[in-house]
Amino acid sequence: MIPWPIALLSLCYGLIAAASSVMVWKITAGSSQQPLLWALAWLAVSSGVMCGLPLLKPWARRLAIFGSVVLTALTLSVAAVFLIASRPVAALVITLGAGLHVVTIRYLQRPAVRAWFEGQESVASRH
């Protein structure tokens, strides 16, 4: 059985995968002028995490941590842009959103969670 926090993370990365696939579709259809490489990279990362986390694959946990680190950096960059634009309340709200990515990283690095992905469920049940 999949732990519910892992299922929620899979769902969140599934939403990112859906948004990335829409962006890839718009770029290939010609209705968007954004770089295709960025959309394809996010589609690959988010699809991998979405499929690998429920299967408790160790590479999916590492990929989810990497994705969350990148999302944290991007979210804080957007907050900095709002701060420069003299919109401190919006910057604060966006910064709090970056905290969710940090919580995700901390959760995935817990020893009990790491044990699930390494196939040592007897160790995870003791903690």
pLDDT tens across 112-121, in order?
Answer: 999 999 885 5
Quick one: pLDDT at residue 119? Answer: 80
pLDDT at 64 over 90: yes
In the 8-state DSSP scheme, what is residue 57? Answer: -
Amino acid at residue number 23: M
Question: Residues 91, 82: contact at Cβ < 8 Å?
Answer: yes
pLDDT at 33 over 60: yes
The average confidence (pLDDT) of the chain is 91
Quick one: pLDDT at residue 75? Answer: 94
Quick one: pLDDT at residue 122? Answer: 46
pTM: 0.84
